[in-house]
Every structure is written in structure tokens, then in C-alpha cells.
Amino acid sequence: MTYARQSFTEGLETLPRMPSWVTSARPETPEDVAFLSGAALNHLHLVLSRDEVPQSLLRARLALRAAEVCVAFSGRPERAGELRDAVHLLRPGDLPGPAGETCLAWRRAVERPVSIKALGRALPAFEPGQIAGWLDTGQGMPVARAAMVLEAVLTKAPRSDVPALILADIALAQALGWDYLMPLLATGLKRADLRKRGDDLRLACHRALVSSAVEAVRLSTDLARRAAHLKAVAPKLRAKGAGDAVEMFLTRDAMAPSALPLTDRAARRLCDRLVDLGAVRELTGRDTFRLYGV
């Protein structure tokens, strides 16, 4: 094992693990649920502060999961594979379709630091003033603020599940002092939860955040390990532009070879080489129109 790879591995061993009492507890009261969600979010906050975690890649992967949940809420059949295709295989002038629009909204929401301007790009159907007004609705502790924003949006625009969940996660991120949205509520809430209001909705948000924060920590550890391996094998790559390609893989959920800063042939060879080295995976199982990711 090289020194570089060893140092990456040692760093991963120091990533704090979610306490077992958070994952195994069976809360019986609203106070229990609120305590567990706070503990889970605090632990996730500690994990997100570590340099080993590829933050952009984590947000992109969580955004895909959030989009998948939202598409399922709407009754559509598309899942992760189809959503990746809808975004990454678009040709100039093509429309992504409803499922693709949902995926793009989440993707755009996590790409840039939280701001009204950035949210306007993710949610073009809403005016900046309207977005700011909804975010100002939230008061109190982080989960309560997120639940209030979620309720405010769904009350005013009952069919706007995606904007409501994005803005609720924004409110949570702001309350926790995070610069970027971290998709959590959408991946933990159930469709029926979106019809709840008041204390019932707040309790549903607490429950959702226990499970989604635990899963986000697990994903963080997995991606940190995969990212460390990709960085360790990067010196073996000889293709011009390989370094830039590696950085792209470390920040994006999936990549088509054509999106890499290499010629088509060199990009395909690089992707095959990275697969052989176990540094990236081919995500589609197809012989053509392939997509690759960490």
C-alpha cells in the first residue's frame, strides 16, 4: 500500500460512527423522537465537517435519491437509472420531461451555496420574493422551522411537493449553519406525511430526519472510501486531462464519457481503465450510452 493510499485509509478509520443507540432506539414519545433526530443531525454535522467526505458528490447522490422519492410521490415509474438518463443523455433542444425536471430541480438546488438567486434557478416557477417569504415563515428550532416552511408552501401551493421539500431542506440547512442544502426530508418523509399539518407534520419531520441522517452518514462513509480509492489510483492515469476528469467524478453523481475533458476515444478508455482499477462503476449495464460514477 502506498503512503498516500494508507493516509486516506487511516483518515477513513477516524470518521465518527453513528452511535448504536440512535439506530436501534424505539422512541415512544414525541420528545424521544425529537431527541433522536437532534442526536442524528448533530452526528451528521460532525461527519460533514471532515475533509475526507466528498461533499459535492454526497449532495449530488442525495439529490438523486430525493428526486427518486419525489417522482414516486407523483405516481410516475422512473427510478434512479431513468432519472440519470433523463439528465445526462439530453441533447440540445430536448426536454427532460416531468421526471427529468424533478431531478434537475434537486440537482440545481444542491450545486450552489444557499441563496435566493440560486433557488430561483432551481425553482423558476416561483418569484424570489415568494421564496424569501416562505423561508421567513420558519421560526424556532431547526426541525420546527423546516416543518413550518414545508407546511406554508404546501398550504399555498398544494401540488408543489418538490419546491416545498427543497425549501424545507433549505430552512433546515440555514438553521444548522450549513452553506449548502443537504437533501434529507425528502428522503425520509412518506407521501402521507405531506398531508399532515401542525404538530403531526413536525413529528413526521423528526422521524424522517432520524432515518435520513443515519443513511446520510452511511453514504458519507461509503463515498469517502470510494473517493479515497479514486484519489489513490489517480497517479496511475496517463491520459492528458485525467486529473480534471478525476475531479469531475469526485463532484458529480454520474458522468457520460462525452462530458469529460478528453477526446471521445480517450474518455472511453479512461472510464474503462477506472472501472478496471475499481475506482468508478459503470452505472447502466448497457453496451452503449454508458454512464459512470464513483
Q: Where are the domains of the chain?
A: 26-222, 237-293
| Alpha carbon distance, N-terminus to C-terminus of the chain | 21
**What does the pLDDT look like over 51-93, one tens digit per residue?**
999 999 999 999 999 999 999 999 999 999 999 999 999 888 8
**What does the pLDDT look like over 96-124, one tens digit per residue?**
999 999 999 999 999 999 999 999 999 99
pLDDT at residue number 3: 39
Alpha carbons 277 and 29: distance in angstroms, whole number: 49
**What is the average per-residue pLDDT within 249-269?**
96
* Contacting residues for 159 by C-beta, under 8 A, at least 6 apart: none
**What is the average per-residue pLDDT within 3-11?**
46
Lowest average pLDDT, out of 45-49, 88-92, 219-223, goes to 88-92
**What does the pLDDT look like over 280-292, one tens digit per residue?**
999 999 999 999 9
Confidence of residue 12 (pLDDT cuts 50, 70, 90): low
Alpha carbons 169 and 163: distance in angstroms, whole number: 10
pLDDT at residue number 196: 98
**What is the average per-residue pLDDT within 134-150?**
95
Backbone dihedral angles phi then psi of residue 178, each to the nearest 5 degrees: -90, 140
- DSSP string spanning the chain? --HHHHHHHHHHHTSPPPPHHHHH----SHHHHHHHHHHHHHHHHHHHT-TTS-HHHHHHHHHHHHHHHHHHHTT----HHHHHHHHHTPPTT---HHHHHHHHHHHHHHHS-S-HHHHHHH-TTS-HHHHHHHHHH--SSHHHHHHHHHHHHHHHSTT-HHHHHHHHHHHHHHHHT-SS----HHHH--GGGGG--HHHHHHHHHHHHHHHHHHHHHHHHHHHHHHHHHHHHGGG--STTHHHHHHHHTT-S-B-GGGSSS-HHHHHHHHHHHHHTTSSEESS--SSS--EE-
For the chain, percent of residues with pLDDT exceeding 70: 95
For the chain, percent of residues with pLDDT exceeding 90: 88
Confidence of residue 278 (pLDDT cuts 50, 70, 90): very high
Report if pTM > 0.85.
Answer: yes
* Contacting residues for 101 by C-beta, under 8 A, at least 6 apart: none
**What is the average per-residue pLDDT within 218-230?**
97
Averaged pLDDT score across all residues of the chain: 93
Confidence of residue 138 (pLDDT cuts 50, 70, 90): confident
Whole-angstrom CA distances from 277 to 43, 228, 232, 272 are 32, 13, 10, 9
pLDDT of 10 strictly over 70: no
pLDDT at residue number 16: 86
158: cell is 398544494
Alpha carbons 205 and 2: distance in angstroms, whole number: 45
Please state which CATH number belongs to domain 237-293. 1.10.10
pLDDT at residue number 13: 60
